[in-house]
Amino acid sequence: MDLESKVKKMGLGHEEGFGAPCLKCKDKCEGFELHYWRKICRNCKCGQEEHDILSSNEEDRKVGKLFEDTKYTTLIAKLKNDGNPVYKRNVMILTNPVPAKKNISINTVTYEWAPPVQNQTLARQYMQMLPKEKQPVAGSEGAQYRKKQLAKQLPAHDQDPSKCHELSPNEVKQMEQFVKKYKNEALGVGDVKLPGDVEARAADENNLKDGDRGTSSAVGAMEDKSSDQKASQYSCYHCKLNMKEGDPAVYAERAGYDKLWHPACFVCCTCSELLVDMIYFWKNGNLYCGRHYCDSEKPRCAGCDELIFSNEYTQAEGQNWHLKHFCCFDCDCVLAGEIYVVVNDKPVCKSCYVKNHAEICQGCHNAIDPEVQRVTYNNFNWHATQECFLCSCCSKCLIDQKFIPVEGMVFCSVECKKKMMS
């Protein structure tokens, strides 16, 4: 076994999740193996978030670093061994007695993340208002969803230059300034509260400003409201529907406490996915996940998935690319000035296209070159030549002629069809 094969088999020591199975490709993938500059698996081409990478340590360190030097330092702790910040997730364990035939058994439910509120009843209500498939119960579909969104919405390479590929010193400096800016101006974590509590607190603050007279008038005004009015006075900023009295709402400090969301409505305005762990970015009256906030500020390379801090980059197929990353998705050869074909939104060189993706001609059974004309009917293809697009019975050329298709065969007439099918 040569050295390259040994390295491939063993994996790199620092490679998180090496060998993890792909949840999308199943047995077709040999296991996760990180591409040397793309953020995908070399074996199946799926992203890291599509693989069942069990360890959450890396994700906790990533979120810890995101909250470092912000007002959310209460959500992180320093690791004793290296002093790096790590995310202190609020794990919630609920134990419910379940009556059985002879005795009472205990049913334990563990949430891998829950809102960091002191009132566990409020946290439980919040969880129950999320779609079942998005509740992060340990070992469930919801836990997988949370883990996938954590990887997708908050890429480590959007905040940490060391996770990026070959940045120049100037690019590192620009990135550090960009991260500092969004931490100061956009990053936030949602608060789960009862709307009435927020209104009461706001009233108390106003009363302190207005004096005793203001206090009595504010209380009187609140008492005059009927229960029906109370139930309809709060509306969700996202869906515009009324909140039910007694239900928890999510608030975003950067948006102001005059806005509130249903728990299931606290989503990114671009991808419409639930904001993982209520981590949001606020800009121009909209909530964003980390990925799409950064996309609204900087171009992102479609090759390596990193933000582009260089003044020189290229645009092709409606996407942005580092100059060195506009490459064939199959073999990584540089495509500048070369013929390429787009396959599933990814550029592929002509050679790889013919080898791996080209349609097969029903006539000659060879791959159809992307630059030549072809005839397509349903899922069948032919070279548009006199040698290939022929009647399956009498070999008459059918180019510019009417034909009768039967599965992968074509006929010039009913007679030829009958003769071949009999």
d(CA 372, CA 172): 46
Give the whole-angstrom CA distance, residue 294 versus residue 154: 10
**Which pLDDT belongs to residue 218?**
33
The Cα 319–Cα 317 span in angstroms is 5
**60, 193, 263 from 93: Cα distances, Å:** 19, 20, 20
Residue at 96: amino acid letter: N
E-strand stretches of 135-248: 187-189, 191-193
Print pLDDT tens along the chain (422 aa).
343 443 344 343 346 678 889 989 988 999 999 998 999 999 999 988 888 875 668 889 999 999 999 999 999 987 666 778 999 999 999 887 656 555 666 678 999 999 999 899 999 999 999 999 999 999 999 999 999 999 999 999 999 999 998 899 999 999 999 999 999 999 999 999 999 888 766 555 555 555 543 333 333 333 344 444 444 588 999 999 998 888 999 999 999 999 999 999 999 999 999 999 999 999 999 999 999 999 999 999 999 999 999 999 999 989 999 999 999 999 999 998 899 999 988 999 999 999 999 999 999 999 999 989 999 988 899 999 999 999 999 999 999 999 999 888 999 999 999 988 87
Kindly state the greatest CA–CA separation across the chain.
102
What's the whole-model pTM score? 0.81
Spatial separation of the C-alpha atoms in residues 93 and 294, rounded to whole Å: 34
Interacting residues of 401 by C-beta distance below 8 A, sequence separation 6+? 412
Strands 279-283 and 187-189: antiparallel
Q: Is 326 exposed, middle or buried (0-12, 13-18, 19+ CB in 10 A)?
A: buried
- Gap between the Cα atoms of 219 and 214, Å rounded: 9
Look at residue 231 in the predicted model and tell me its pLDDT.
Answer: 45
Look at residues 47, 57, 43 and name the one whose alpha carbon lies nearest to residue 291: 47
Instruction: Determine whether 316 is exposed, middle or buried from the number of CB atoms within 10 Å of its CB (0-12, 13-18, 19+).
Output: middle
* Calpha distance 339→350 (Å, rounded): 6
Within 8 A by CB and 6+ apart from 273, the residues are 149, 152, 153, 267, 289
| Torsion over CA: 254, 260, 266, 267 (sign) | negative
Which of 380, 375, 414, 419 is closest to 397 using CA atoms? 375
DSSP letters spanning 322-369: EGGG-B-TTT--B-TTS-EEEETTEEEEHHHIIIIIPPBBTTT-SBPP
- 9: which DSSP letter? H
Tell me the C-alpha distance between 266 and 290, whole Å: 14
- What is the model's pLDDT at position 202? 58
**Cβ atoms of 236 and 260 closer than 8 Å:** yes
Q: Name the 3-class secondary structure at 93.
A: strand
Domains parsed from the chain with CATH numbers = 26-83 (no CATH), 363-421 (2.10.110.10)
What is the Cα–Cα distance from 142 to 309, expressed in whole angstroms? Answer: 35
Cα separation of the two ends of the chain: 57
Phi, psi of 198 (to 5 degrees): -65, -45
Distance of CA 91 to the CA centre of its chain: 23
Say how far apart CA 380 and CA 375 lie, in whole Å: 8
| Residue 114 near residue 91, CB atoms below 8 Å | yes
Within 13 Å of residue 68, how many CA atoms lie on the same side as its CB? 17
**SS3 of residue 98 by DSSP:** strand
- pLDDT, residue 18, reads 86
